[in-house]
Amino acid sequence: MTGPDAAEVRVLGIELGDGETVLYTTRKDWSVPVMSGLLPSAGLGLFLLLLVAQRPTALPPRILGTLVVLALVPLMASAMRFTLRRYVLTDLRVIVRDGRGFTQIPLTSVHRVDTEESQPERPGDVRFQSDHGVMVWTRVPRAGRVVEIASEAVRLYGRG
């Protein structure tokens, strides 16, 4: 296995074949987990703050700490999902790593790679249309650039 992120991919638990080359790895844009976890945490935190403010006596620090941790649970859960999801493109396949498992499609079955994002530097969804259906990499940073890299990989290593 070769490529700039070979050690990182091995750490993620994706077994690559002999001679398989990692061409690109990425994950969702950082704003996705922050916003999807921040809003519920802020709402829960506001609710708990109002609940505590209604009490005539102060809560013990241990209970306040527990409430703060509870308010942060949605943000922490979102961050964990973010760190467990990774997108990998090799010279043989397209992979979505999510938690302990992963899904993949052979690069030779990919017909087309596209995105709806018109500005190459913005986050967007990258779709790999193949014989096995459509695999979507959601909210990828610089989606237009990723489409260029993936399209070139399909041209060189896939159907051509």
Band (77; pLDDT cuts 50, 70, 90): confident
Instruction: Quote the domain boundaries for residue 55.
Output: 32-81
By C-alpha distance, which of 82, 84, 71, 83 is closest to 38? 71
Q: How many angstroms separate the CA atoms of 139 and 4, rounded?
A: 22
Residue 1 placed within a domain: no
Q: How far are the Cα atoms of 47, 59, 72, 158 from residue 53, in angstroms, in the given order?
A: 10, 10, 19, 62
CA 88, 93, 96, 100 torsion-angle sign: negative
How many domains would you assign to the chain?
2
Give first-to-last CA distance, the chain, whole Å.
23
- Is pLDDT larger for residue 16 or for residue 113? 113
Instruction: Kindly state whether residues 91 and 47 are assigned to the same domain.
Output: no
Residue 102 is predicted with a pLDDT of 83
pTM for this entry = 0.66
